């Protein structure tokens, strides 16, 4: 099939963007996504992280992100989902807004990597339909890497993903009476 | 017990440094350590990462680390341990050198966090005694955070650690014939 009609794809173009899932009940799901972002920043990539859980994004990474001239954009749902919500309709609306924002940004071609952090929770609460996420992932730009984090990733997502890691809690300091640590937990 | 004889400890000083272990057969052990480093860099911390496996440290994070004026130091064992070694005595010596370097740096008080990346492998190969690592961890400066990564963390290390996460591989792209990805795998 070689010939002028069909130029060979460049090596770079032929690499598909991965769908990466960090799930499980342990620490490190968001932190490993942050590590992926850090590595990708070194390549000059532009990265968006959409944060679905209120207050999950920490001062440390906000400060560190400033070193990269806006190439790591962080969009926390400041008034978004909380565990003890009194207003599920408002939470559903905020989850939908965050999803639409992230989806459109991902489709804009502006980013090499988009991280939907803790997105599984809003799926678990039915604030966002799993099928909407799957549909987006199936039609995403082929070069775009998408990272999705959170406990209890739905099976459809695991089936579609390229790389799935379960972070399992073996031992947690809170269980041993150790307080939250600056730089580690917040 | 309030009174001038016993001034209250500052909140900051009273927080012990954690011993954190990332183990398991999945992706994300080093990446999550990198995420911890990224977060800690945002706090102005100084961090050392000692890399025990040759070539594990990637271009992306080396470049990204440059944004932090040397506050994230990376010490790869350039001629260190490899899987297909022909010279176990040399590998043992290199592992010992890397350990001594990291241990002395950790005890220097210069760093808030020291990461021993993929250190479990040199323990598995008996190039480094588990008891030496345990002894160091028991006598480390109390404020210092130590992160240790690698498969098959020994039980003594898990017993001593404050926070242990197992990264379990659920799905890996190599198993599906997808090539290594720039920015993700290297």
Q: Which of residues A79 and B5 earns the better pLDDT score?
A: A79
**pLDDT-derived band of residue B82, with 50, 70 and 90 as boundaries?**
low
pLDDT tens by residue, B6-46: 444 434 444 589 999 999 999 899 999 999 999 999 999 99
Q: Which of residues A14 and A180 earns the better pLDDT score?
A: A180
pLDDT of B1 > 70? The answer is no
* Count of Cβ atoms closer than 10 Å to residue B176 Cβ: 9
B171–A163 C-beta distance less than 8 A: yes
Predicted pLDDT at A183: 62
B20–A31 C-beta distance less than 8 A: no
Q: Which chain B residues are within 8 Å of A27, Cβ to Cβ?
A: 32, 163, 165
Question: Which of B12, B38, B179 comes nearest A38 by C-beta?
Answer: B38
Q: Kindly state the tokens that stand for B169.
A: 């591989």
B60–A173 C-beta distance less than 8 A: no
User: A15-166: which CATH topology?
Assistant: Rossmann fold (3.40.50)
Predicted pLDDT at B56: 61
Alpha-carbon dihedral sign for residues A66, A70, A75, A79? positive
Give the residue on A whose Cα is nearest the Cα of B34: A35
Predicted pLDDT at A114: 98
**pLDDT-derived band of residue B5, with 50, 70 and 90 as boundaries?**
very low
Burial profile A86-114: b = 16 or more Cβ within 10 angstroms, e = fewer: eeeeebbebbeebbeebbebbeeeebbbb
**pLDDT-derived band of residue A5, with 50, 70 and 90 as boundaries?**
very low
Q: Catalytic residue at A27? A: yes
Predicted pLDDT at B180: 62
DSSP strand pairing (A163-171 vs B163-171): antiparallel
Q: Which chain A residues are within 8 Å of B41, Cβ to Cβ?
A: 60, 63-64
pLDDT tens by residue, A132-149: 999 999 999 999 999 999
Lowest-confidence region among A53-62, B7-16, B58-67, B128-137: B7-16
User: Which H or E run contains A22?
Assistant: strand A19-23
Q: Catalytic residue at B29? A: yes
Residues paired with residue A76 on neighbouring β-strands, in sequence order: A51
Give the contacts of B92 (CB within 8 A, at least 6 positions apart): B127
CA distance B73 to A46: 24
Catalytic residue among B23, B52, B57, B81: B81
A158–B40 C-beta distance less than 8 A: no
Residue from B165, B168, B179, B186 to probe the interface with A (highest A Cβ count within 10 Å):
B165
Phi, psi of B118 (to 5 degrees): 65, 30
Whether the CB-CB separation of A73 and A61 falls below 8 Å is answered with: no
Question: Which of A15, A26, A34 comes nearest B35 by C-beta?
Answer: A34
A172–B163 C-beta distance less than 8 A: yes
Whose CA is closest to A182, among B107, B13, B7, B74? Answer: B13
Catalytic residue among B23, B29, B52, B94: B29
What are the structural domain ranges in chain A? 15-166
Q: Which of residues A88 and A10 earns the better pLDDT score?
A: A88
pLDDT of B67 > 50? The answer is yes
Which option is the CATH number for B15-168: 3.40.50.300, 3.20.20.60, 2.102.10.10, 3.90.1300.10? 3.40.50.300
Rounded to a whole number of angstroms, the distance from the CA of A52 to the nearest CA of chain B is: 19
The full length of chain B comes to 186
A37–B38 C-beta distance less than 8 A: yes
Whether the CB-CB separation of B142 and B17 falls below 8 Å is answered with: yes
Catalytic residue among A52, A54, A56, A81: A81
CA distance B58 to B180: 13
pLDDT of B183 > 80? The answer is no
Q: Residue for token digits 């990805």?
A: B181
pLDDT of A78 > 90? The answer is no
pLDDT tens by residue, B144-182: 999 999 999 999 999 999 999 999 999 876 655 556 666
Q: Which of residues A151 and B3 earns the better pLDDT score?
A: A151
CA distance B117 to B101: 13
């Amino acid at each position: 099939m070689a010939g002028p009609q069909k130029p060979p794809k460049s090596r770079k173009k032929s690499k598909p963007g991965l769908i990466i899932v960090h799930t499980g009940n342990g620490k490190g799901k968001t932190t490993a996504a942050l590590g992926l972002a850090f590595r990708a920043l070194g390549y000059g990539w532009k990265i968006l992280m959409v944060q679905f859980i209120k207050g999950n994004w920490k001062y440390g990474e906000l400060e560190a992100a400033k070193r990269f001239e806006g190439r790591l954009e962080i969009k926390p749902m400041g008034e978004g989902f909380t565990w003890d919500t009194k207003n599920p309709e408002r939470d559903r609306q905020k989850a939908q807004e965050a999803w639409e924002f992230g989806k459109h940004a991902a489709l804009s071609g502006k980013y090499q990597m988009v991280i939907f952090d803790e997105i599984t929770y809003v799926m678990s609460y039915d604030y966002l339909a799993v099928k909407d996420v799957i549909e987006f992932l199936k039609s995403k730009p082929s070069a775009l890497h998408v990272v999705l984090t959170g406990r209890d990733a739905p099976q459809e997502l695991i089936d579609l993903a390229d790389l799935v890691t379960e972070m399992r809690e073996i031992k947690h300091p809170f269980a041993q009476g150790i307080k939250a640590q600056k730089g580690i937990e917040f």
